[in-house]
A and B are shown apart, each in its own frame.
Chain A
Amino acid sequence: MTLDKAESGKTYEVESVDLPIGLHIRLEALGMTKGTDIDVTETKEHGTVIMKLRGTRFAVGKGISSHISVKEVAVHEH
């Protein structure tokens, strides 16, 4: 699945990013590397999401989120 279809409150693992190189590298520099866990905290219609990536929140539009393949991670209780 892609990130724009994520549900809020769930954790996902990044599988691959399919974006133009500049944007791809920008995301990687923010820590979105393969295998990184991201927590989706808020979602909106149109696929814009708020995610927590390595401790920092970002709002990401559909043009980006729909190009990020993720898989859901089983939530481990604290």
Chain B
Amino acid sequence: MNIDAENERNVKAAAGQPDVTAEAKAAAGQPDMTAEAEAASESLRSKAEAGEPADFAAAADKEEDAAVHEKEETGTYKKTLTIAFAGNPNCGKTTLFNDYTGANLKVANWPGVSVEKKEGAMKYHDDTFKLVDLPGTYSLTAYTMEETVSRNFILSDEVDLIIDIADASALERNLYLTLQLIELGKPVILALNMMDIVEKRGMEIDFHRLPEMLGIPCIPISARTKKGLNILMHAAAHHADSSEKQSPLIHQHTHNKESQSHHQHHHHQQYVMVYSDEIEDKIDAVSVKLKELYPSLTNYRWHAIKELEKDTEIAEKYPLDLPDVIDRSYEDDIITQKYDFIEEVIDECLVNKDTKEAATDRADRILTNRWLGLPIFLLIMAGVFVLTFAVGNAMKGGLEYLLDLFSNAVRSGLASAGAASPVISLLCDGIIAGVGGILTFLPNIFVLFLALAFLEDSGYMSRVAYVMDGVMGRLGLSGKAFIPMILGFGCTVPAIMASRALATRKDRFRTMLITPFFSCSAKLPIYVLFSGMFFPKFAGLAAFSLYAAGFLLGLLVAFLAKLFDKEPYENDLLIELPEYKRPSSHTIFIYVWEKVKDYLTRAGTIIFIASIVMWFILNFGPSGFVGSSMENSFGSLAGKAIVPVFVPLGLGYWQIVVALIAGISAKEVVVSSCAVLFGISNVQSAAGMSKMVTDLSAMGFGPLNAYCLMVFCLLYVPCIAAMATIRRESGSRKYTAFVIVFQLAIAWVVTFIIFQVGRIL
């Protein structure tokens, strides 16, 4: 691999351009960009494992307020620290990271989102800090990929300091990771986030005693209200410096009966977490052996503890032959004793716990109620769709008007400038019609993503996993599999990525198979246009019926997959239900903006290009420029060759076939292609629609055909970006090919049935 290119990428990532855009780029049909971002994090990972020193060469911007830095000469500043952000899922880590770096990473209020680590840079006085946001984990075992990755990265020389972000309102659970991080032997600072919630609930934390017991600085912050951020970085700058470690004050382990301890070492003056005498003896014995066999190791204590836990990774790397000492796995004891110590810390440092019932409990009594939960969820989803259509339709008039003005101005301007008619046609009938037509659907897309952002950020999304668990259980999937499906209503690409959070490969594969049936927002323009044209009075209902059909078909496929599966289904749902919170406007803004930007990017790139290509293949034929007689164009000839396959579906029109094929690049292209095909500058306007209805009706394309078209669009293969994501996430070409063939077959069969039955009725 080219090292320079790698470094360049790393620096780029560090300069606050993290790979969160990879998702958007993938959706824009540039999946190779994601691969690049992955390669960058992969190279970092391997570097981390190899223990190479940091090659981060970014320095601060000249401007004081700029938090995002470009690559510049090093050496002008005193210090470059690499700080790893570690913490449980939902602890506000990503929000804090965004606060410092000015980056716009997506924050999700349900676990399993940041699966890759993200980097950013910030300036603190004269120092440059490189911040690395690690995936949220509850612990650092070797049982899951992301925990192993985080652990190895922290252990590498690259990391100077760890900031452990803890949700102070759930301190007891968060401290477990803290103890594990402290044991790794690097300087750790505990940032107690969500102090605003702690105060609101009437809890108090003893900030004098807590650092004493843990032996590390503990800084109260609130990432959401940006309080305590300077103090935290101040602590970081100083704590990483201090060569002499702050030793924890002596405390009594009640379970240890310290007073009767026979132990010869003064562990309590050296370590925060001291285990029972039995385990401490074993740690000492293993450490001695490790020193003997692997003299280059550092932090023998941590490695010894891992050996006692029979940690697969460490045991393989540093095999030991101590059957008397390591006679079984002591992981159970080690965890229990850590929690015993945590209980002591909580007893001493947390005052007034549980004085007030959390608002979350009250809300959950209704929202997750065994009878009300499901109807409420269905109501919420129905509300989301009603809003998407109602608000979108209310706003589209203005956009159409602007588009018409623009198109007419360009047309008359070009004509008066004496431009050739193919040029005018390319601009107005090709580009403006195709791209502009798609832009008029922006309000619908905006409202849909706004609603999804609210659901995610409020904390409701993980409740959906619980509410849908019973239904999903009958289909052989855990409720967690439903989260990717809901996200699929927005965009299939991130939805498929979200299936990573599922426990088994089988669950992931099934979820990826079903997710495309959950109609994505790119298919929305197709529904809006065709139901608006052919079912003007029942447009909303027609569109909703498609969403419902996709939903039910997805569930049916899952059910069939379960029937064919011989293994009994074990419901291994395990998901944290975070506190409900008022959605943060910043988080919502980032979320919606990313999606809107993505949509605009797609309109400017893939749909733009598709429109031009469509214009060319429809205006040129074997005989050259064919102009208005599209019948002789390349597009027409190609479409006609495939038409026989679509005749039984009521879609046997070459124009429709061409639009459907073009739609594989992105689903909106079906609409933009129709605009080009029928020479309509504004497909959503009343005039545009009526011209298209007239043209289509003249071809014999009626409401039934329109419905069949929408059903086929709902079910046939997702766009290229989604397919590339399935390929990447499944890691299997065979599976991807299966998904494609499966979707095409389903789309054909279902549309066939609808058309044939509809014809009889």
Contacts and interface: CB of A to CB of B under 8 A. Distances in A.
Nearest to A49: B466
Interface string B571-584: 11111111000000
B331 A59 contact: no
Given A33-B335, A41-B361, A60 B573 contact: yes
B224 to A, nearest CB: 19
A61 B573 contact: yes
Contact of B138 (A21, A26, A33, A34): A26
A25 B335 contact: yes
Nearest to B478: A61
Nearest to A48: B469
B572 A54 contact: no
A50 B364 contact: yes
Contacts of A48: 466, 469-470, 473, 479, 571, 573
Interface string A8-44: 0000000000000111011111110110100001111
Nearest to A17: B332
A21 B311 CA distance: 12
Nearest to B573: A61
Given A26-B139, A30-B173, A48-B479, 19 more contacts: A25-B143, A25-B331, A26-B141, A27-B574, A29-B138, A30-B138, A31-B176, A34-B336, A43-B370, A44-B370, A55-B169, A56-B173, A56-B576, A57-B364, A60-B573, A61-B478, A61-B573, A64-B572, A78-B354
B325 interface: no
Contacts of A58: 574-577
Contact of B572 (A29, A43, A44, A61): A61
B666 to A, nearest CB: 36
A5 interface: no
A60 B173 CA distance: 17
A42 B361 CA distance: 10
Interface in B335-356: 335-336, 339, 342, 353-354
Nearest to B368: A42
Contacts of B269: none
A26 B141 CA distance: 8
B368 A26 contact: no
A42 B335 CA distance: 27
Best-surrounded residue of A23, A28, A78 (most CB of chain B within 10 A): A28
B138 A46 contact: no
A59 B361 contact: no
A58 B369 CA distance: 15
A59 B462 contact: yes
Contacts of A62: 473, 570-571
A34 B365 CA distance: 28
B42 interface: no
Contact of A57 (B139, B331, B360, B569): B360
18 contacts: A29-B176, A31-B172, A31-B342, A34-B336, A41-B361, A42-B466, A44-B469, A46-B469, A46-B470, A50-B577, A55-B169, A59-B463, A59-B465, A59-B479, A60-B573, A61-B469, A63-B570, A64-B574
A77 interface: no
Contact of A55 (B139, B172, B369): B172
Contacts of A64: 571-574
B470 A33 contact: no
Best-surrounded residue of A34, A48, A50, A78 (most CB of chain B within 10 A): A48
Interface string B121-156: 000000000000000001101011000000000000
B486 to A, nearest CB: 16
Best-surrounded residue of A22, A57, A60 (most CB of chain B within 10 A): A57
A60 to B, nearest CB: 6
Nearest to A65: B571
B170 interface: yes
Interface in B261-287: none
A28 B335 contact: yes
B522 to A, nearest CB: 32
Nearest to A45: B470
A46 B173 CA distance: 27
Main secondary structure of the interface of A (DSSP, over half): mixed
B172 A42 contact: no
Interface residues of B, number: 45
B171 interface: yes
A25 B330 CA distance: 11
B466 A59 contact: yes
A53 B572 contact: no
Contacts of B575: 58-59
Nearest to B177: A29
Nearest to B143: A22
Contacts of B335: 25, 28-29, 33
Nearest to A35: B336
Contacts of B578: 57
A42 B368 CA distance: 7
Contact of B141 (A29, A34, A41, A59): A29
Given A42-B364, A63-B572, A33 B336 contact: yes
Best-surrounded residue of A30, A59, A78 (most CB of chain B within 10 A): A59
A45 B172 contact: no
A36 B369 CA distance: 25
Given A31-B172, A54-B173, A59-B479, A46 B571 contact: yes
A28 B176 CA distance: 10
A78 B354 CA distance: 10
A45 B573 CA distance: 14
Given A28-B336, A55-B173, A61 B571 contact: yes
B141 A25 contact: yes
B469 A59 contact: yes
Contacts of A42: 364-365, 368-370, 466
Given A22-B143, A50-B364, A61 B574 contact: yes
Contacts of B339: 31, 33, 36
A60 B462 CA distance: 12
Contact of B173 (A47, A53, A63): A53
B143 A41 contact: no
Contacts of A59: 462-463, 465-466, 469, 479, 573-575, 577
Nearest to B367: A42
A21 B332 CA distance: 10
A44 B332 CA distance: 30
A35 B374 CA distance: 34
Given A46-B473, A55-B170, A63-B572, A29 B368 contact: no
Contacts of B139: 25-26, 29
A31 B141 CA distance: 14
Contacts of B370: 42-45
Nearest to A33: B336
Contacts of A46: 469-470, 473, 571
A1 to B, nearest CB: 18
B338 to A, nearest CB: 9
Interface string B166-189: 000111110010000000000000
B572 A23 contact: yes
B172 A54 contact: yes
A64 B332 CA distance: 18
Best-surrounded residue of A29, A41, A42 (most CB of chain B within 10 A): A29
Nearest to A58: B576
B368 to A, nearest CB: 5
A21 B570 CA distance: 16
Contacts of A61: 469, 473, 478-479, 571-574
Contacts of B577: 50, 57-59
A55 B470 contact: no
